[in-house]
Structure 1
């Protein structure tokens, strides 16, 4: 942008507000109204040139340049009036250029008027120099170059001539803005290949830095990108648009800009009815938007994005697994309901067919894409599933309603199966999605009781896979996610379900401190007073040898605090147990580092209660200082 930035220190708040108000007013004007002012100025200058008496040659040169500018402004006005829905007129650069042109024309009119016939006194008072004309002619040359550049990008776009990367004077201090203008103009008016190239260029610019992202959004890049995303005739176009939008969507404000442009319904529609490669990019876009904006989580949920995501994630999954046939039937029944709702106009037209594209044949595009999917390469299918799992993870994060929606689409069965059969990123992201759903269930009793009932096939499948990962995996990040999920479900397990506690106790001696700390934290949820079966779970933890493992905990403060909290619960609920006495728990409490208690104030009361319960049953040892363990 060629305009000089205003110093914050020298601009008052009222001036800033007035400037912002003026900018908004200018944007609200039709572009024809914006252009009418400099055109009127041009006519006035032409008349003033005819009346000039001094500096007639210079005034004539000004008149020639102004006449050329006037012709260009009229050409731009004709372009604007010929706007169509197919190729809408992109006026952002023209508005900026017209503002600069108007300033230069006002200076021209003022200078030329000084050269008209005046009295001798006025001639003495008003002195005009050749230097002023040289400066003015230079400004007019810049305006001519700006208008030439603007008209060139429209001629290139209209003729399919591609993207203009020349630099107009108005953008000499900020070349990026001229490139953004050119790319966006090409998105509006170019041929399909030019639009794809422009979207890829914008994606590249957006990937560089946040300032570029902000310029693209401010200069109106989102709407044409969304329009290109809707172009179902070209997978390459949809991928280019999704890539550019994804690179923009790493900030809450920019995500809201996409939402305000009605982007969510478009994204969901494309996700349900496009090629597998395009769906992969769109699912990644959904994940990014949901990650950075809670409003996006809600809007995507309202547009039912979770069902197509689960459907895509379960592609080629239900065929060979008898345990998941219930899930298939349930999803099929949901699809039938969606079709009925579509007939009643409760869903957007075509949305029901997009959801059923994997399970029913038909003449819709979804049915055609289904054949393409079956022939896709395994790595393409894997990439799609990874993107869908990432999207579900971000949608479920800190969201009870979305977690509930995932469970209602039988998503838990699908996630459990993928955790069992897959590895790498897909397995990890499925585990993280389960972790978010279980965290939501921990905070919401209704979701917990409805989804994780003891006799629920989905709940059993999930718990089985979580326990398998805890016991068999050698990847700490997978184990931590699984351990945390089991801990979140602590209130759902009956006393007889001891199989979930043993693996957690065994992880107390893991060689990774974070795994040990997470195991202690999850066991604490079984033994905490808020758990109705805390006494029974406490006895199980002790019976499985939890106390000796806890007494050996060394290392970082986080691990130490979780271990202390857990052993306090054990002492409070089963203080008479001889394992606690043999391990020297009472003496260990007396040797707790005061800094740990200072950082975790709740420990002070817990340790006092634990010492009291232990002293009641082990009075002979109450005054002994055992070896310092914590």
Structure 2
């Protein structure tokens, strides 16, 4: 963008005071040269008067900059306008010097016309207008001036962005700072170009400062909303991370009024979804703990490790470790609930906001829980560290309870969080064994709710994440856990093809050769009359057909002597599909060949193709 072109590296390395001092000296040189050239060229006097006005303004800005600390001064417009002023002063000096040549030959090669002076006068007048605007920004109480300086004539947004950022950065009245933050949030919604401009002009740092100060809920909400509207892709989120935004966001989430926490949780979700680095930075700051705490507000989570009269020395040591890590407000809850449960009230600074929380509407509390659950979902996606932290902070118990008692977006977000944690556990054996061991109470609670959703809920949006989660942890189930297979087999015949397809994928993970109990699970599918459902699935969409055929191949390999496979004419079906599947998915060619060969060994009258 032409109007917002950045200054040179050399200029950026100078302090603002140094830059302004050099400009004042340059203006003095121009004035001296104009005084010497005035007898030969009267127009130089007019130029000198404009330069003198500029010089006075430069001194005024320099005094303001000197009186301010580097942290309290918003310097982007000063640097940008000073750069243009420097160019125009150089133009003035070069033109005036031409007027001083005395010899006839030099005058021939240094002809100056009235047009040259008019052009220069216009340049200087623009610089005077820019400096007047700049002084109005730094001299006003709120730092806001929505007038249009000449430098931004081709791009009005630039001056408005400068004005709003200056108000947030230096405004004396909180109401003015809040209004400016809201205006930036509105600007950031417009388009990517405006977002980029706000970020390039240094808008992120003052917004984070406003968020951190906690001067008022309105100020924090405005700042969080502006950051939310700015962070719409990986690069922009990374810029928020680079400004050390993660620790600030983490602190505010755990220590703010509920309405602020709602907006901050939304910001966390977006950042974690768009930027993997932000996701892991949040893990390092242990953002999971306040999120689980807020999600668990007013909830009592049963914990068999904390039994009255049965607390061992080892248990007490573990409790003390947990107390050392927990926020202040959780300490009392842990001490007072050693009788068998953990109560988390979701408050931040030692109950500082407790009265505010008690007076909050049920809608606000629900909104906070919805957004915290979504944040846990986005943070856990593909992240071993965040998924592990969720399982270590009673997050699984909390999510299971929410799935059991809640509905709508809150229930869906909790299901999606479980789905993502399970997906990570599928590829991480340590997490799978620690979090989804079927004998552990959290894993049992989660499994109970997943099965209930699969069997009872009617919405595909709820069934699908539950089915995916069960499939992801298929390796954790022992052979005696037969209650898992039946509900999945039943979903093979679901009228929604996506639900049926996900059921086939999940069952495929139970009978995959890498699953130690693949034979036992294959037998269970046969016992639950799964073969006819698989055959019906093959008449569905191409995607469903592909996964159904893979599942049929695994059954053929593991229980090829089954009467159910023979009655369903599984061999003929696989032979008919082998050629087309081999063409579309060559990686399955060997699997089909083995399955067909295996079936020919058991089915009477069959012949190898």
Could you state the TM-score of these two structures normalised by the residue count of structure 1?
0.89
Distance 1:327 1:440 in 2: 32
- Picking from 15, 18, 21, the partner of 1:36 is 21
Distance 1:228 1:250 in 2: 20
Distance 1:411 1:465 in 2: 14
The DSSP-based 3-state class of the residue aligned with 2:181 is: helix
Mapping for residues 603-622 of structure 1, pairs under 5 Å: 603-622=588-607
1:537 aligns with 2:524: no
Mapping for residues 460-499 of structure 1, pairs under 5 Å: 460-499=444-483
Distance 1:560 1:363 in 2: 51
User: 1:360–1:367: 8 Å Cα contact kept in structure 2?
Assistant: no
1:111 aligns with 2:95: yes
Cross-structure match for 1:222: 204
User: 1:203–1:244: 8 Å Cα contact kept in structure 2?
Assistant: yes
Mapping for residues 392-431 of structure 1, pairs under 5 Å: 392-431=376-415
The DSSP-based 3-state class of the residue aligned with 1:109 is: helix
The DSSP-based 3-state class of the residue aligned with 1:230 is: helix
How far did residue 231 of structure 1 move?
A: 2.1
- Picking from 286, 289, 303, the partner of 1:307 is 289
How far did residue 25 of structure 1 move?
A: 2.7
Distance 1:236 1:134 in 2: 51
Residues 1:524 and 1:4: Cα distance change in structure 2 (over 3 Å): closer
Q: Give per-residue Cα distances to partners, 1:5-59, cap 9 Å, x unaligned.
A: 8xxxxxxxxxxxxxx9x82332121001111222112111111121125674421
Distance 1:271 1:615 in 2: 63
Residues 1:499 and 1:317: Cα distance change in structure 2 (over 3 Å): same
How far did residue 361 of structure 1 move?
A: 10
The DSSP-based 3-state class of the residue aligned with 1:537 is: helix
Distance 1:497 1:333 in 2: 34
User: 2:294–2:369: 8 Å Cα contact kept in structure 1?
Assistant: yes
User: 1:396–1:433: 8 Å Cα contact kept in structure 2?
Assistant: yes
Moved more, 25-34 or 98-107: 25-34
User: 2:53–2:128: 8 Å Cα contact kept in structure 1?
Assistant: yes
Cross-structure match for 1:176: 157
1:167 aligns with 2:151: no
Unaligned runs of 5+ in 2: 334-342
Moved more, 356-365 or 540-549: 356-365
- Picking from 174, 181, 185, the partner of 2:166 is 185
Residues 1:475 and 1:331: Cα distance change in structure 2 (over 3 Å): farther
How far did residue 335 of structure 1 move?
A: 8.2
Moved more, 199-208 or 561-570: 199-208
How far did residue 514 of structure 1 move?
A: 0.6
Distance 1:336 1:200 in 2: 44
Moved more, 138-147 or 363-372: 363-372
User: 1:45–1:66: 8 Å Cα contact kept in structure 2?
Assistant: yes
Distance 1:235 1:278 in 2: 6
1:263 aligns with 2:263: no
How far did residue 474 of structure 1 move?
A: 1.2
**Aligned residues, how many?**
594
Unaligned runs of 5+ in 1: 6-19, 342-350, 625-630
How far did residue 115 of structure 1 move?
A: 1.9
User: 1:180–1:216: 8 Å Cα contact kept in structure 2?
Assistant: yes
Distance 1:471 1:4 in 2: 59
Mapping for residues 193-208 of structure 1, pairs under 5 Å: 193-208=175-190
Cross-structure match for 1:550: 534
Residues 1:362 and 1:455: Cα distance change in structure 2 (over 3 Å): closer
Cross-structure match for 1:353: 328
Distance 1:63 1:338 in 2: 73
User: 2:272–2:279: 8 Å Cα contact kept in structure 1?
Assistant: yes
1:376 aligns with 2:378: no
- Picking from 280, 294, 315, the partner of 1:298 is 280
Cross-structure match for 1:49: 34
1:234 aligns with 2:219: no
Distance 2:292 2:224 in 1: 20
Q: Give per-residue Cα distances to partners, 1:259-299, cap 9 Å, x unaligned.
A: 22111111111111100000111111111111111111221
Cross-structure match for 1:456: 440
Q: Give per-residue Cα distances to partners, 1:125-150, cap 9 Å, x unaligned.
A: 32111011111111111000011111
1:514 aligns with 2:498: yes
How far did residue 244 of structure 1 move?
A: 0.8
1:63 aligns with 2:48: yes
The DSSP-based 3-state class of the residue aligned with 2:450 is: helix
- Picking from 438, 459, 462, the partner of 2:422 is 438
How far did residue 123 of structure 1 move?
A: 2.2
Q: Give per-residue Cα distances to partners, 1:293-330, cap 9 Å, x unaligned.
A: 11112211111110010000001121xx6579969999
Distance 1:46 1:202 in 2: 41
